[in-house]
Amino acid sequence: MRFSTTSAAIGLAMAAAIALGTAPAAANHPVLLEGNNAGDGLSLTSVPPGTAGDYDGDGLVGTAEDTDNATDRVFGTLTAALLAANGGANANGHVIIVTSGRFNEAITIPNTAGGQAAINGVTIVEAAPGVQANIDAVLAGDAGNATRQAGNGIVINTVDTDRVVILRNLVIRNYQIGLQVMGNARVICEDCRFDSNVVANVSVSGNASLTLVGCSVSAGGMRFNPTKANPNPGDGVVFSGNAKGAISDCAISGNTAAGVRNTSASVVKVTDSTLFDNVPNVVGKVIQLP
């Protein structure tokens, strides 16, 4: 997998975040997101400083990090980092995950339930080089597992045509649909890994468009927690409506249904990618190029 962010960029982002101080919530600014890797069991909020994903050394992780400071631009959950409170990105800026951890969340962009009416600009969510960022419906012992498993991982849905969301170096697993792109959304997904999502690992519908680069898309329809799920159908990447897509340098394999399924009015282009061991590898209007 390739990474597009450098360690130097992380340092610059931290300095910029601090320097911004009380910038307007809609401003295009970077925020930092800590992972929560506190061990098996429920996510923690208080840990020995500098441990368990605590990037800034204040001993707070998870939801406690979201509200501890109005200007430090450091968060503990992806949901809060994407909203406006306490200097969040407000769906317009760069969310950089700076320590490894798990995010047992269901993400919507824009988050209308959180009072966010629209995507306010270019929105980037990425894990820094060497960071393992797991957006996972399942967390051992957590009471919300069943609810998350019955829903979708990341849903991006906007009426605007001049907004782009970039996802980079993320792991998304154990939902009904791992990534759902809807409406007029334009999404670029780089170096991400999808697996174990029951309906489809990735779904693109409406007038949305998806560029998928350097990704692994596998084991759609296969989930074994707490019991084996019934594939429904278990596609790798599926396009419908008037959705458009380009897939490059990806490995799409081991899905219980189609590797790439396209029932949309557009042709999907697949370039320099491996499609193997899907059932079948391709359905519909898909052009495969070397």
Q: Report pLDDT digits (tens) over 163-196.
A: 999 999 999 999 999 999 999 999 999 999 999 9
- The answer to whether 163 touches 214, Cβ cutoff 8 Å, is no
Q: Which two tokens stand for residue 86?
A: 């306490």
- Tell me the CA distances in angstroms from 126 to 97, 139, 210, one per residue in order: 6, 21, 17
Q: Which amino acid is at 121?
A: G
pLDDT mean for each 10 residues of the chain (290 residues): 42 41 58 85 81 94 93 95 95 96 95 94 97 93 89 97 97 97 98 97 98 98 84 96 98 98 97 98 95
Q: What pLDDT is attached to residue 62?
A: 93
Contacts of 268-277 with CB under 8 Å at 24 or more apart are 268/239, 268/244, 269/245, 271/246, 271/247, 272/248, 273/247, 273/248, 273/249, 274/250, 276/251, 276/252, 277/253
- Tell me the CA distances in angstroms from 207 to 92, 159, 162, one per residue in order: 21, 9, 13
d(CA 22, CA 32): 16
Q: What pLDDT is attached to residue 24?
A: 45
List, in sequence order, every residue forming a beta bridge with 173; answer none if it has no partner.
Answer: 136, 195
Q: What pLDDT is attached to residue 42?
A: 60
What are the structural domains, with CATH classification, of the chain?
7-102 (no CATH), 137-290 (2.160.20.10)
Q: 275 CB contacts (<8 Å, ≥6 apart)? A: 252, 253, 259, 260, 281, 282, 288
Q: What pLDDT is attached to residue 26?
A: 61
Write the pLDDT tens digit of every residue in 72-113: 999 999 999 999 999 999 999 999 999 999 999 999 999 999
Q: What pLDDT is attached to residue 148?
A: 94
Place of tokens 């401003």: 27
Could you say which DSSP state residue 185 is in? -
Q: Which amino acid is at 93?
A: G
Q: What pLDDT is attached to residue 249?
A: 98
